[in-house]
């Protein structure tokens, strides 16, 4: 385990994880629960570094029945899921605490939103630097190098540190645009 960056604290039997214990992956995801013959077995919880948790009943290392809870407390439902379904676009915290007044709207579930380092994107589990193609945790720890597909998705989808003007040309006043359009010859 130590060779790959994992660790285990708990009971063992014949040198294998057995009984109650805590297994920590190299990613700092932790499993806390019952083990059998070196595998997750019985009741246990996976705690992810970003605050998400997965509680499950395990059988020989395979999750048989479980619940997925996001860091903000929202519990995923496989059926009748009505969060981010197109009809109600509020963040979970807005559903729990109500909407903020005009001009103070939330742009992320976390309010106020995290400040994004210059030139970077907030990709949900950390910050992405497109010039190095590296994702780091919000704490600054290396998470991964993005492949082409992830890079494209982040650049197209995620919140960035800078503002871009889109639509109308900001350097032209409304009057200048009106004058321009009235000088068109037919």
Written as tens digits, the pLDDT of the chain (186 aa) is 666 789 999 988 998 998 999 999 998 999 999 999 999 999 999 999 889 999 999 999 999 999 999 988 889 988 888 777 778 878 888 888 888 888 888 888 888 889 999 999 999 889 999 999 999 999 999 999 999 999 999 999 999 998 877 666 655 555 555 555 555 554
Q: Sheet containing 127-129: give its strands across.
A: 142-145, 134-136, 127-129, 121-122, 159-160
Q: Is the pTM of this model over 0.85?
A: no
Cβ(125)–Cβ(141) below 8 Å = no
Question: Cα(31)–Cα(12) distance, rounded to whole angstroms?
Answer: 15
Which long-range contacts (C-beta less than 8 Å, at least 24 apart) are formed by 152-157? 154/121, 154/123, 154/128, 154/130, 155/121, 155/130
User: How many distinct helices (H) and strands (E) make up the chain?
Assistant: 3, 11
Asked if 54 and 68 touch (Cβ cutoff 8 Å), the reply is yes
CA 113 to chain centre: 13
Q: Could you tell me which of 3, 1, 21 has the C-alpha nearest to residue 11?
A: 21
Q: Which tokens in the block code for residue 28?
A: 């700092």
């Amino acid at each position: 385990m130590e060779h790959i960056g994992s660790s285990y604290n708990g009971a063992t039997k014949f040198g294998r994880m057995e009984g109650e214990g805590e297994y920590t992956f190299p990613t700092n995801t932790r499993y806390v629960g019952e083990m059998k013959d070196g595998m997750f077995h019985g009741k246990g919880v996976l705690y992810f570094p970003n605050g998400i948790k997965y509680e499950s009943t395990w059988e020989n290392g395979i999750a048989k029945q479980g619940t997925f809870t996001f860091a903000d407390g929202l519990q995923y439902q496989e059926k009748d899921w009505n969060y981010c379904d197109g009809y109600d676009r509020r963040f979970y915290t807005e559903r729990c605490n109500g909407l903020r007044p005009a001009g103070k709207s939330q742009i992320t579930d976390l309010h106020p939103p995290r400040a994004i380092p210059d030139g970077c994107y907030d990709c949900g589990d950390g910050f992405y630097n497109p010039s190095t193609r590296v994702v780091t945790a919000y704490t600054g720890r290396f998470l991964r190098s993005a492949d082409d597909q992830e890079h494209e998705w982040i650049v197209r989808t995620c919140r960035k540190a800078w503002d871009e003007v889109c639509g109308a040309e900001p350097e032209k006043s409304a009057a200048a645009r009106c004058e321009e359009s009235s000088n068109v010859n037919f």
